[in-house]
Structure 1
Amino acid sequence: MGYHGSNLSACLILFFTIPLLLTLIEAKGNKSTNLSLDGPHRTGKLFSLFNVVRFPNEQCISRSDPTMRGTCFSQINCQERGGTPDGNCASGFGICCMFVIQTCSGTVVQNCTYIQNMAFPGSDTTVSQTCNFMFNRIDPNICQIRLDFDTTVLQTDPGLPGMCGGAGDSLTVGSPLSGSPFAFPSAICGTLNGQHMYIESSRMGVTAGSLTIETGTTPGNRRYKIKVTYVDCHSELRAPSGCAQFFTGVSGTVTSYNFQGGQILRNQDYTHCIRQEEGFCQFEVFETPGVANAFSVSDDALSRIQRCKNQNFVTIPSMAVQDFTTIIIGNTDYRCGMVFSSQFGQSTPGSLLSTRDTPFQIQFHTLVADRLGLVTFANLKGFSLDYSQIPC
């Protein structure tokens, strides 16, 4: 029985059209994956047409956990890098490749890697343990590393409220390059869910930074899932030098580490930076609406300005002000007490307008120990402040 002419024509059209269409599937991007559909051992003119399908190695969403992000690779490239496939990407031509370190200590060699405690999503109860994580320099144009504390709960010292280390746990970072003493705190602990931290890195050396988690002698549950993102030197997400945190957008919320845990931390010196958006020249700061004790950094029940240098304080470059009781000449950057306001001695929260200095920033400093009549750490929570940028 012979073939009908219509069926033969259809077969010929499909035979030549499908490879041709596949050769045209090419995504833009400097870093991309070449996907071979015919396998590494197939040769010939026809099947070589399948070798040019490309797609950018962008972030993708994990199928098993939509809150986690992976990198879009071909299945072969994912396996070669030691990743785990978890869903599809690039219209089905790639797989979402997940990188997770779930051991005590390890080396990060891929962008978008998660560091998790060994029992995650459960908690670990091991005490007196040190876990070190090194960040390899995966590209010469890496200038910063961003840590996102998706889920991080560490114990504070029960005998010294707000103390990280000793009987409590501590999370510390190391940077081969830091141009400011306010670049990041000496150690943090407590409840850090949703917080983040930037680490500055030079362009030289094998190591771009490090992270150390130490558990103290206090029994308790610890758990952490920390996302590691490498920030390119030319990225819009690169923070100004000396910033522990970097916020974008015309409005947002800035909180001190462990504000969720309800306890201000000791020995903190770091800077929150806000990207100046186009067409905006200043920013306004005020206590986060609806949050109880949104500003609680020192013992004074009223708002205090400028006379804060011997206690915990927040600094915001701001305009000089005059109130009914005193005239303050010059900068009025310092804020302390339990009420945030532009005026001295207020019992009702108010807003504060910054100067036009850039970058927009909020610095935070706390003491190492209580100071009689000024700072009692057990009574202090930290701060949650909202900002709104003001058009020029």
Structure 2
Amino acid sequence: MYIRGVNSQGRFLDIFEVVEFDHVACSSSNGLEGTCLHEFDCQKVGGMVLGSCADGFGSCCVVQFSCDSRTSAPVGWFTNPGFPSPSSNRMSCTASIDKASRDITQIRLDFQSFEMLPPTGGNCEQDQFIVTGQNANNVIPILCGINTGQHVYIDVGHVEGPVNLSIQSITADNRLFSIKVTQLTPADDLAAPVGCIQYFTAVQGHLESFNYRDRSDTIVGKKPSYLNNLNYAMCVERRPDTCSITYTNAGAMQIVNFDNEGLPVIPPRQAGVEVFNCPTDWLLIAAVRLCGDRFNDGTVIQDFTLDAPVTDDSNGPVVVWFRSDSVYNGRGFKLQYQQNSCSST
């Protein structure tokens, strides 16, 4: 849009241009996703200009906060002190999130970077990521280890706020975290069904247990493992032209169960199915409990030493449950899912 003004003597002023552009995502100089805004608008929301966008007419605005911060920004980043470098200090670090409006019912956390010390025997003892202030019936598990690429949803529709995100550590090892905090109303595209800690909307993708990945700097004697005392739902948006969803093993699966004498319930390198094999630790897919060192429910291939696809063609929401006890834990799971068109089922 071009504007031309006239001064008090009736002479035309120089032509200048007011550029309008969409407030889309942009890449900032420190690797965090920002929003393309006018510089003045960025300052109003408490953000920092970390690059340009819209062919140089806009500013890549990033709202970034760290320890002892409080924000009501609709979108922002909770980062470790000194980010993008790791922090090597003991820390008690809390950021408080006020709801941007009364319409906010969820907060989505995307872990762009999440590298902390791993659990000990399934318990987060040295490092802890803790969420408080959410709905009383929406417990977010205490997390630690490597969770880069994961996400969680926090239900906040029945609380005024703030919601507190805390990192607690007791040693001086390196920690690196950059967590995108997005506030959501029920009308937002990213909004998840109530009660889903994770929500996937693509036709295909991966479901992965927390702390499944290897740490970037190896810790002697510490292997990736899932956490104790988990009980949560991973939900997949059913696409309108699909009638089933197929899961396949995409990694080294290990969901363990032991009897009262401390002996494995399932033989090594075999799949376990249902309550007898999977009494305490299990994935629930299509109302069937699955566990063990292989992914196979026995309906396709009855050789339990092999992995086999598992297809859910039931009606209703697509939900995968994971549960673990307070005693034993294994590597975890990484499943690839594929939604199937109705014409192929």
- Asked if Structure 1 and Structure 2 have the same fold, meaning a TM-score greater than 0.5 normalized by the shorter chain, the answer is yes
Aligned ranges 1:7-18 → 2 under 5 Å: none
Give distance in 2, aligned partners of 1:335 and 1:45: 80
Aligned ranges 1:303-318 → 2 under 5 Å: 303-307=271-275, 308=277, 310-317=279-286
Give distance in 2, aligned partners of 1:306 and 1:221: 41
Shift of 1:191: 0.4
What is the DSSP-based 3-state SS (H/G/I as helix, E as strand, rest coil) of the residue aligned with 2:41?
Answer: helix
- Aligned residue for 2:154? 199
Shift of 1:124: 2.4
What is the DSSP-based 3-state SS (H/G/I as helix, E as strand, rest coil) of the residue aligned with 1:142?
Answer: coil
Residue 239 (1) aligns with residue 192 (2): yes
Shift of 1:177: 2.5
- Aligned residue for 1:116? 79
Residue 383 (1) aligns with residue 342 (2): no
- Aligned residue for 1:225? 178
- Aligned residue for 2:292? 337
Residue 100 (1) aligns with residue 64 (2): yes
Matched-pair contact (CA < 8 Å) for 2:255–2:282 = no
What is the DSSP-based 3-state SS (H/G/I as helix, E as strand, rest coil) of the residue aligned with 2:84?
Answer: coil
Matched-pair contact (CA < 8 Å) for 1:75–1:95 = yes
TM-score, scaled to structure 2:
0.82
Q: 1:222 to 1:248 in 2, by over 3 A?
A: same
- Aligned residue for 1:351? 309
Give distance in 2, aligned partners of 1:45 and 1:82: 39
Residue 146 (1) aligns with residue 103 (2): no
Give distance in 1, aligned partners of 2:225 and 2:19: 53
Aligned residues: 316
Matched-pair contact (CA < 8 Å) for 2:50–2:62 = yes
Give distance in 2, aligned partners of 1:383 and 1:315: 12
Shift of 1:175: 4.8
Structure 1 counterpart of 2:124, from 156, 164, 181: 164
Residue 214 (1) aligns with residue 168 (2): yes
What one-letter code is carried by the residue in structure 2 that aligns with 1:382? G
Give distance in 1, aligned partners of 2:179 and 2:256: 27
Matched-pair contact (CA < 8 Å) for 2:118–2:146 = no
Deviations 1:198-224 (A, max 9, x none): 1112176253x33121113x4522221
277-286 or 79-88, larger mean C-alpha shift: 79-88
Matched-pair contact (CA < 8 Å) for 2:225–2:331 = yes
Aligned ranges 1:28-39 → 2 under 5 Å: none
Q: Report the identity percentage.
A: 27
Aligned ranges 1:64-75 → 2 under 5 Å: 64-65=29-30, 67-75=31-39
Structure 1 stretches lacking a partner, 5+ long: 1-20, 24-36, 39-43, 318-330, 371-376
Shift of 1:46: 7.3
Give distance in 2, aligned partners of 1:252 and 1:193: 16
Residue 22 (1) aligns with residue 2 (2): yes
Deviations 1:322-375 (A, max 9, x none): xxxxxxxxx5x21111111021660000111113233211111111113xxxxx
- Aligned residue for 1:259? 212
TM-score, scaled to structure 1:
0.73
What one-letter code is carried by the residue in structure 2 that aligns with 1:336? C
Give distance in 1, aligned partners of 2:109 and 2:333: 21
Deviations 1:94-147 (A, max 9, x none): 211111113x231132233111111323322333x3222211111232221111
Q: CA RMSD in A?
A: 2.8
Shift of 1:178: 5.7
What one-letter code is carried by the residue in structure 2 that aligns with 1:304? G
Structure with more of its chain in helix, by fraction = 1
Matched-pair contact (CA < 8 Å) for 1:297–1:383 = no
Shift of 1:79: 2.1
Aligned ranges 1:84-99 → 2 under 5 Å: 84-99=48-63
Q: 1:345 to 1:334 in 2, by over 3 A?
A: farther
Shift of 1:82: 2.5
* Largest Rg, 1 or 2: 1
- Aligned residue for 1:41? none
Deviations 1:64-114 (A, max 9, x none): 14x421122211222233321122233433211111113x23113223311
Structure 2 stretches lacking a partner, 5+ long: 215-223, 258-263
Deviations 1:237-295 (A, max 9, x none): 1111111111111111110010003212111111111111121121111101xx3x234
- Aligned residue for 1:269? 231
